[in-house]
Structure 1
Amino acid sequence: MSAQFISSIEPGKQSVKKRFILWFDEISRKQFDLVGGKNASLGELRQIGARVPPGFAVTTQAYDYFLKKSGIGKKIFPMLGDSKSKSQRELAEICKEVRRIIINSALLEEISIEIAKAYFKLCELVGMKDLPVAVRSSATSEDLPWASFAGLQDTYLWIVGAAEVIIKVKSCWASLFSDRATSYRNDMGFSHDREKISVTVQKMVNSRTAGVMFTLNPINGDKSEVAINASWGLGESVVSGEVTPDEFLVDKASLEVKKRVLGEKDIEIVPVSGGGVVEREVSETRRKSYSITDEEIRELVRAGLRIEKHYKNPSDIEWAIDQDMDFPENIFILQARPETVWSRKKTVSKEEKKEEDTDYVIDLLTRFFK
């Protein structure tokens, strides 16, 4: 679909019977099958009043319609049928071909039009013509209590323009068949043709500081504490494990910082004019400074505790502080999901807990920072 055609599309209501687009404010956990784990959580957070940047979901119905109408589903699923018995090299070749088929297939016009309309409407709502957005995968297997699919599909940051958003949506669909995601489905016994994927399109936060928060102590499971990791720039440097962030341990009752460790924070991810992001070095002065204030920490913890209360469970939360806005309106929640690792752990003795701590931290970092 040409950029000229995209530019001629006017915002409006969906013109198809299937729901290819759902706005966050329309979404709750009840639409999990339609919007996937990430989008279901974002909609739920908006409903409880959390400060979540606006956006919309490209639904699993759009993905299904694309596979069926184009005939791609009939091509790729037989290829994946016996992939569990393949070697790692053979599986990689199959997955590469599946992704190639999806990427090289034209996205159906009826889906492209709805995505473009939604993007233009989001630009209008925010008051910015070419709004930078994050385009993220939101699979129906994400955030399940018995499986850790989160982070196995793609994310694209600071995407500008309807045409680029449409391209990235298709790239997210293709990422459902990455080597890691396909292998993990095989290991967990998930059927490839029953797995669905939605896509998140969300206003970017122009982050001064961003990071992750656990509404428990992730080392020992202490529910009276909140752990925060923070670093300069966009949060991908933290969630991907590229930087050593500032670390804070906060008492839930008093909101006082009990422990703080200055991280190296040697790089940051920042937006590029015209779209996309780049990694750059952080000055020595900023490396030696904490990236978040105590006042911001307290506000962040309050937000985390509201989320924990809603989910009735400790939570893993991604957050960002917008450098263009005033406190406290500049603190945003980008993603949240119930914590599952400590919730699933059985009660153990102090001796057993010491032995498990190292294994747990490795598992946590592998699951969360990928």
Structure 2
Amino acid sequence: MTSTNCSVDAGIRYVLDLKEVKNTDRGTVGGKNASLGEILSLGLRAPSGFAVTVAAYDALLEFNNLKPQIQSIIDDMRSESSDSLECAATQIWELFEGARYPPPVERAIRSAYSTLASALQTPEPFVAVRSSATAEDSAEASFAGQQETYLCVHGVESVLLYIKKCYASLFSPRATAYREEKGYAHLEMRLSVGVMQMIQSLVSGVCFTLDPVNGKRDVIVTECCWGLGEMVVQGKVQPDRYVVEKATGRVLERHVAAKPMMMVRAGLADGIQSGAAAAVDALTREVPVPAERIQAPCLSDEQLQELVRMAIDIEKHYTIPMDIEWAIDEETHQLYVLQARPETVWSSRKAASRREVLVRGLGASPGRAYGKVRVLIDVQEIAEFQLGEVLVTTMTTPDWVPAMRRAAAIVTDSGGMTAHAAIVSRELGLPCVVGTGKATEILRSGQTGDCRWNAGCGATWHPRHRRRSGARDAIVAGRPHWGPCAHHGHSCVHEPGRTGKDSRAEAVALRRYWTNACRIYSSELGRPSSHVHY
């Protein structure tokens, strides 16, 4: 790698302690770091650490003359092609891999890590290395999962390596596709990186200060699991779910799920359950949850109420609904805020009419759309995905974003309303059903579908009709429904019946009343004559 002899302004700060930054410093340390600094300024408990500023990112690009090389790769890229996105990302990563830090930047990072080690009273503390882009976690776009986060990083040499990995992830296929979707210029996006104390989580989760499914602002909704929270975000377990009334603290809903797996630090897994551990990457492992915890609730009543109070305090400070990541430390049992960002997408969409139930799940994002089903199990298959199809898979990760951008709707076997598929679907405005358990088994590629919203319908599959050919067309759909629903679950896969005409009074009622579940349907009649209603 050829580097330039660029001058470095001695007045530029390449590293800032998180206690020094606030939400107004987004342009310097990115949205994630700025928000975490704001949380610390409120006196709430959050990890200690430092932010490698966007000035350090700019200096590395200049020192290694990377901007024109990256721009050339982007100019040759075709954003509609998954293969082209992947090829561009690989080339750009190779540029960052070979890049050298400007000496002042490297010195600043080494010094900051040493200071953090002294504060934590350990020579080489485990840290999380987290991307923090200048446009992320705003009220308009969350950029959820677009850039990388690396957990359980150990030692300053590893920190330097993973900071560069974060830089390169700014040009990953999913991040590039997302910027194309949102209209952001690729090289105008700048990246800060947060290096912060690694909380060894007993329990972790995601908390919303509204119901992200129906927009009700009088409740706190949280989902959580044992161990590191990536299992919730990635939808790898069905999380515990709690809904609490803000005004009274009354628990309105408490769902305790079976949680057979959890994610922990690799060294911990190797020391305790090396034979049973499944590799996620070099830093973390998925391991079986101890038998006595699988069906046990993650939170006690006291912990839940502390979480609710913390969430309300954060919302009051920001004056808008918030999406909060949190963890309870395994040793101290103290609650930490890991991230707080505005809840970016919620809108009332319309609902579904009664149909044959094929699959039930959680209606995680509202809307109605039409398309053919495409069942994909492996992210390597996304090149097969066509514009306007209904994506049916076990669960998405950020690597699925190029396909999600082209989807009419998304259906997953696992995950909750705070899983990656749910969050990104809400932001992209796509109807989404998660946690169906068996959609990839029941639905088949090539079935046609229409995705809509309806009032908490769902229960079981009720076959009504069979096509003479024995085939079944799938619909992710439903007309708005303002009265009590005949079912009592969440989101479903149905068979549409023959619907009568809507009266004017019903049409007015349908506009006035909306509710919060998605259905997937099978159709004997084929594509509805009208398939988009708002």
Instruction: Please state which band the TM-score falls in when normalised by the shorter chain.
Output: 0.7 to 0.9
2:233 is equivalent to residue 178 of structure 1 = no
Q: Distance in 1 between matches of 2:217 and 2:80?
A: 43
Alpha-carbon distance change, 364 to 240 in structure 1, aligned in 2, over 3 angstroms: closer
Please point out which of 317, 334, 343 is paired with 2:338: 334
Q: Distance in 2 between matches of 1:169 and 1:85?
A: 26
C-alpha offsets along residues 34-68 of structure 1, whole Å, 9 cap, x if unaligned?
11110111011111112111111101100000001
Query: Does 204-213 or 144-153 show the bigger shift?
Result: 144-153
The SS at the match of 1:135 is strand
* 1:150–1:367 CA contact under 8 A, matched in 2: no
C-alpha offsets along residues 160-197 of structure 1, whole Å, 9 cap, x if unaligned?
11111111000000000101111221232211111100
CA shift at 1:323, angstroms?
1.6
C-alpha offsets along residues 254-286 of structure 1, whole Å, 9 cap, x if unaligned?
212221111121111111339822110112321
Partner residue in 1 for 2:26: 32
| Matched letter for residue 68 of structure 2 | K
2:250 is equivalent to residue 240 of structure 1 = no
CA shift at 1:291, angstroms?
1.1
Alignment coverage as a number of residue pairs: 348
2:298 is equivalent to residue 291 of structure 1 = yes
The SS at the match of 1:244 is coil
* 2:79–2:177 CA contact under 8 A, matched in 1: no
Q: TM-score, normalised by structure 2?
A: 0.62
Partner residue in 1 for 2:265: 271
CA shift at 1:105, angstroms?
1.9
* 2:128–2:153 CA contact under 8 A, matched in 1: yes
The SS at the match of 1:333 is strand
The SS at the match of 1:301 is helix
The SS at the match of 1:270 is strand
CA shift at 1:16, angstroms?
3.9
CA shift at 1:144, angstroms?
2.8
Q: Distance in 1 between matches of 2:294 and 2:107?
A: 45
Query: Does 182-191 or 110-119 show the bigger shift?
Result: 182-191
| Matched letter for residue 338 of structure 1 | P
The SS at the match of 1:273 is helix
Q: Distance in 2 between matches of 1:316 and 1:135?
A: 20
Q: TM-score, normalised by structure 1?
A: 0.88
CA shift at 1:253, angstroms?
1.6
Q: Distance in 1 between matches of 2:17 and 2:73?
A: 34
C-alpha offsets along residues 294-340 of structure 1, whole Å, 9 cap, x if unaligned?
100000110000000011011100000012115xxx11000011112
Please point out which of 148, 153, 166 is paired with 1:159: 153
C-alpha offsets along residues 92-138 of structure 1, whole Å, 9 cap, x if unaligned?
21221011111122233321211111011011112121111000100
| Matched letter for residue 60 of structure 1 | V
The SS at the match of 1:222 is coil
Q: How large is the Cα RMSD of the aligned pairs?
A: 2.4
5 Å-filtered alignment, 1:348-367, equals 352=350, 359-360=365-366, 365=419, 366=421
* Larger radius of gyration between Structure 1 and Structure 2: 2
* 2:203–2:327 CA contact under 8 A, matched in 1: yes
Q: Distance in 2 between matches of 1:341 and 1:75?
A: 35
Alpha-carbon distance change, 269 to 357 in structure 1, aligned in 2, over 3 angstroms: closer
5 Å-filtered alignment, 1:200-239, equals 200-239=194-233
Higher share of residues assigned helix: 1
Q: Distance in 2 between matches of 1:357 and 1:244?
A: 14
2:313 is equivalent to residue 306 of structure 1 = yes
The SS at the match of 1:218 is coil
C-alpha offsets along residues 132-154 of structure 1, whole Å, 9 cap, x if unaligned?
10001001121233334221111
Q: Which has the higher contact order (CA 8 A, sep 6+)?
A: 1
The SS at the match of 2:188 is coil
Partner residue in 2 for 1:69: 63
Query: Does 264-273 or 308-317 show the bigger shift?
Result: 264-273
* 2:79–2:180 CA contact under 8 A, matched in 1: no
2:254 is equivalent to residue 260 of structure 1 = yes
Q: Distance in 2 between matches of 1:292 and 1:357?
A: 24
* 1:148–1:367 CA contact under 8 A, matched in 2: no
The SS at the match of 1:136 is strand
Q: Distance in 2 between matches of 1:335 and 1:368?
A: 15
Please point out which of 182, 188, 192 is paired with 2:186: 192
Query: Does 79-88 or 284-293 show the bigger shift?
Result: 79-88
* 2:60–2:99 CA contact under 8 A, matched in 1: no
